[in-house]
C-alpha cells in the first residue's frame, strides 16, 4: 500500500490547552470555589499553572502511565489536573465522591493510584479511606496554605498543599510527545451490580471524541459560547466539555459544589452562560426554582440533557416558556461518553412544532465515528423502521474495548462479518432517518405476560401531569402477568393529586394494558452517584408491594 506523505502528529491532550492558550489566551475560566467565592482565570494562566503542576508531579515521582486520582468538584484546579496529569503522560483518574467510602477505597486500590488530589469538602472521606489505600504516596488538598486542614491522616505522611506545590515550581515545561494511543484518563462506572469497572480512555480517543462532539449536529460549541458544565468532572470527563471548551476557545463557568436551583440560576445569569449540560434530575430542581420564583434565563439558549431519558414535558417547558433549546443526547461512560445527539435535519424545518416534538424526544442520530445497530436476542440485525426494538450495539474509536484489569475477558461481541461491537445494555429502536430512541435499559424493561412495557414511556407521561415533579416506573411482581408496572411519584411542592388522577392521565396515551397497576407517592426518589434515579433501590423497596387485584 502507498503510504501518505502527510505529517504524523500524535493526537495529544496537551495540544488542546496549547491551542487554547495561543488562540484564546484571554478567554475566561470562572469557578465558584468550595470556599464560596468566585475565582477568575484565563486559558493563558491555566496553561501556565498546568505546566507548574506538571513539574510538581515529576518532583513527586509520578511517572508516565502512573494513575493520579481526583476527588473534586468542577473548578479550575480540577481542570489544571486534567491537563497537567494527562499532558505529562500520566493517567487522570477521576473518582465520584458520592460513592460509598468502601467503594472509593476499592477503586483507588484497583487503579493503584499514586497520588490523590481532593477538595476540602471531601477531607472526612479521604481520612477514612487513607489507611486502606496502599499504593497512594501523596494526598494533596486543593487549597491555599491558609485553608489547609490541621488534621493528620492515619496511613499517610501528611497532607500536601496544592498551592504550595504549584508555587514552588517554574512554568518552564515542554509537554512530552508520545504515542497517541497512550492512556490519558480513567473513570469507573457506577457499578449498580458487582464491582465498578474501569474505562481507560486514550489521548487519541479523547481528541477524536472532542472533535466530533463540538460539531454543529452534536453539541454545536464555539468561541462565542459560555459553557457551564453541571455534569461533574468526576463523571466521564464532564461529558468532554473541559476538552471541547479548550478546543473551541469557549469561556467556561464551573459551579463547584453549589448545584441547587438558586446557585445555578445566579451563576447562569451573572456569567452570561449560553450553554449548559446536565442530567434531568438537576434540571428538575433548577426548573422548580425558576417556576416558583418566576425567573427567566436571559442568556442561556441551549442545554444538553442526557444521562437518562429527558421527559418531553421538560423539553417543552425549556423551549416554549424559557426559550432554551434542548439538545437531547445519549452516551455512556464506555463511550467517552457521546454516542447520539438529537438535532434536526433539513426536512424538519418544514414540519410543525407538533410534528417535530416526537423527533426531539428521541435520543438522536449517531455522531460520525459511532456505528450503531439493534439486534434481537440471537444477534440478528433488526430493521430501522422506528418500531422494531432490540439490544443496542455500538462500535467506534472512542468506545471501550476492554475494562481496565477486569480479568473477565472482553465485553465485546462479534457479528457475522467478524466486526466487534459493544453491547450497551440499552433497548432501543432506530427509525429510517437514523434517529435512535431508547425504550429502556434491558434490566429496567417491564415484562408483562410476555409483552414489553417501556418504563421510560410510562414515566414521560407521568411527568407531563402538571402536579408530578418526578416519576419512576418499575416492575412489580404479579401472579398472573409475572410483572406489572408500578409508578412511584414525587408530587410538585404544594400540589395535590390522587392515584386515580395520575392513572386517568394515561387515557388515550398508551394501550390499556400498559397503564400502571398502581401509583405510590413518595417524598423523594433514591438517586445514584451520578444523579440518576436508582431503580435497583426502588425495586428492593417495593419488592413486597401488593398490586390492586393481584
- Assess whether 340 carries a catalytic annotation: no
Position 332 contacts ligand ADP (CB under 6 A):
yes
Position 430 contacts ligand ADP (CB under 6 A):
no
Position 391 contacts ligand ADP (CB under 6 A):
no
- Assess whether 73 carries a catalytic annotation: no
Position 32 contacts ligand ADP (CB under 6 A):
no
Position 425 contacts ligand ADP (CB under 6 A):
yes
Of the residues 82, 201, 330, 542, which one makes contact with ligand ADP according to CB under 6 A: 330
Position 423 contacts ligand ADP (CB under 6 A):
no
What whole-number distance in Å separates Cα of residue 96 and Cα of residue 233?
9
> Which of 133-141, 301-309, 473-481, 484-492 is the region at the interface with ligand ADP (rule: CB under 6 A)?
301-309
Among 41, 189, 206, 530, which one carries the catalytic annotation? 189
Of the residues 184, 424, 455, 460, which one makes contact with ligand ADP according to CB under 6 A: 424
Q: Where are the alpha helices (DSSP H) in 60-150?
A: 76-87, 101-111, 123-129
- Assess whether 174 carries a catalytic annotation: no
* Minimum CB distance to ligand ADP, residue 234 (Å): 11
89: which DSSP letter? T
Total residues belonging to the chain: 550
Sheet holding 325-331, edge to edge: 38-42, 28-32, 251-254, 226-229, 275-278, 302-305, 325-331, 338-341, 365-366
Looking only at residues 337 through 376 of this chain, which bind ligand ADP when binding is defined by CB under 6 A?
Answer: 337, 363
Of the residues 532, 534, 541, 550, which one makes contact with ligand ADP according to CB under 6 A: 532
Cα angle 383, 385, 391; round to 5: 50
Q: Please give the full DSSP string across 248-267, using - where no structure is assigned.
A: HT-EEEE-TT--SHHHHHHH
Nearer to ligand ADP, 49 or 235 (CB): 235
What whole-number distance in Å separates Cα of residue 377 and Cα of residue 392?
11
Position 190 contacts ligand ADP (CB under 6 A):
yes
Of the residues 113, 426, 483, 517, which one makes contact with ligand ADP according to CB under 6 A: 426
119: which DSSP letter? -
Q: How many residues bind ligand ADP (CB under 6 A)?
A: 21
Position 326 contacts ligand ADP (CB under 6 A):
no
> Which of 76-84, 366-374, 419-427, 510-518 is the region at the interface with ligand ADP (rule: CB under 6 A)?
419-427
Sign, CA dihedral 492-306-534-377, equals positive
Among 288, 452, 536, 537, which one carries the catalytic annotation? 452
Q: Map residue 63 onto helix, strand or coil.
A: coil
Cβ pair 436, 340 in contact under 8 A? yes
Q: Is the peptide bond before 337 cis (omega within 30 degrees of 0)?
A: yes
- Assess whether 334 carries a catalytic annotation: yes
- Counting Cβ atoms within 10 Å, is residue 397 exposed (0-12), middle (13-18) or buried (19+)? middle
Binding site for ligand ADP (CB under 6 A): 189-190, 306-309, 328-333, 337, 363, 424-426, 438, 441, 530, 532
Would you please indicate which residues are annotated as catalytic (active-site) residues?
189, 334, 447, 452
Amino acid at each position: 500500500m502507498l503510504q501518505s506523505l502527510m505529517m504524523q502528529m500524535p493526537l495529544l491532550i496537551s495540544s488542546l490547552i496549547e491551542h487554547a492558550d495561543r488562540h484564546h489566551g484571554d478567554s475566561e475560566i470562572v469557578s465558584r470555589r468550595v470556599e464560596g467565592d468566585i475565582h477568575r482565570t484565563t486559558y493563558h494562566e491555566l496553561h501556565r499553572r498546568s505546566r507548574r503542576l506538571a513539574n510538581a508531579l515529576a518532583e513527586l515521582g509520578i511517572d508516565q502511565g502512573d494513575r493520579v486520582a481526583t476527588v473534586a468538584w468542577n473548578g479550575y484546579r480540577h481542570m489544571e489536573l486534567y491537563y497537567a496529569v494527562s499532558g505529562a503522560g500520566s493517567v487522570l483518574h477521576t473518582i465520584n465522591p458520592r460513592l460509598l467510602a468502601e467503594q472509593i477505597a476499592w477503586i483507588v486500590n484497583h487503579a493503584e493510584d499514586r497520588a490523590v488530589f481532593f477538595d476540602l469538602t471531601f477531607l472526612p472521606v479521604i481520612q477514612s479511606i487513607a489507611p486502606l489505600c496502599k499504593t497512594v504516596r501523596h494526598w494533596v488538598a486543593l487549597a491555599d496554605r491558609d485553608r489547609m486542614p490541621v488534621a493528620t491522616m492515619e496511613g499517610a505522611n501528611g497532607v500536601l498543599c496544592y498551592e504550595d506545590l504549584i508555587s514552588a515550581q517554574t512554568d518552564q515545561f515542554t509537554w512530552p510527545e508520545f504515542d497517541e494511543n497512550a492512556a490519558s484518563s480513567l473513570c469507573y462506572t457506577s457499578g449498580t451490580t458487582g464491582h465498578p469497572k474501569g474505562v481507560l480512555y486514550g489521548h487519541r480517543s479523547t481528541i477524536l471524541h472532542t472533535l466530533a462532539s463540538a460539531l454543529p449536529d452534536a453539541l454545536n460549541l464555539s468561541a462565542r459560547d459560555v459553557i457551564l458544565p453541571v455534569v461533574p468532572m468526576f463523571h466521564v470527563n464532564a461529558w468532554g466539555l473541559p476538552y471541547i471548551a479548550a478546543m473551541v476557545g469557549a469561556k467556561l463557568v464551573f459551579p463547584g459544589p453549589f448545584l441547587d436551583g438558586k446557585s445555578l440560576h445566579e451563576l447562569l445569569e451573572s456569567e452570561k452562560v449560553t450553554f449548559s449540560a446536565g442530567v434531568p434530575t438537576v434540571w428538575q430542581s433548577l426548573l422548580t426554582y425558576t417556576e416558583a420564583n418566576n425567573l427567566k434565563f436571559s442568556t442561556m439558549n441551549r442545554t444538553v440533557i442526557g444521562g437518562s431519558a429527558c421527559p418531553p414535558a421538560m423539553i417543552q417547558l425549556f423551549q416554549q416558556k424559557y426559550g432554551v433549546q434542548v439538545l437531547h443526547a445519549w452516551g455512556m461512560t464506555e463511550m467517552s461518553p457521546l454516542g447520539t445527539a438529537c438535532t434536526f435535519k433539513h426536512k424538519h424545518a418544514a414540519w410543525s412544532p407538533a410534528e417535530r416534538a416526537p423527533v426531539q424526544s428521541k435520543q438522536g442520530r449517531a455522531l460520525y465515528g459511532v456505528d450503531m445497530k439493534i439486534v434481537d436476542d440471537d444477534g440478528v440485525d433488526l430493521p430501522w423502521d422506528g418500531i422494531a426494538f432490540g439490544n443496542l450495539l455500538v462500535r467506534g474509536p472512542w468506545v471501550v474495548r476492554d475494562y481496565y484489569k477486569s480479568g473477565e475477558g472482553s465485553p465485546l461481541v462479534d457479528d457475522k462479518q467478524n466486526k466487534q461491537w459493544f453491547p450497551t445494555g440499552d433497548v432501543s429502536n432506530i427509525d429510517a432517518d437514523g434517529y435512535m430512541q431508547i425504550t429502556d435499559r434491558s434490566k429496567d424493561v417491564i415484562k408483562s405476560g410476555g409483552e414489553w412495557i417501556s418504563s421510560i414511556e410510562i414515566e414521560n407521561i407521568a411527568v407531563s401531569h402538571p402536579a408530578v415533579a418526578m416519576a419512576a416506573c418499575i416492575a412489580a411482581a404479579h401472579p398472573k402477568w409475572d410483572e406489572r408496572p408500578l409508578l412511584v411519584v414525587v408530587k410538585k411542592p404544594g400540589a395535590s393529586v390522587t392515584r386515580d388522577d395520575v392513572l386517568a392521565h394515561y387515557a388515550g396515551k398508551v394501550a390499556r394494558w400498559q397503564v400502571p397497576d398502581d401509583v405510590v407517592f413518595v417524598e423523594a426518589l433514591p438517586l445514584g452517584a451520578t444523579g440518576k434515579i436508582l431503580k435497583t433501590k426502588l425495586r428492593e423497596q417495593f419488592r413486597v408491594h401488593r398490586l390492586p387485584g393481584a
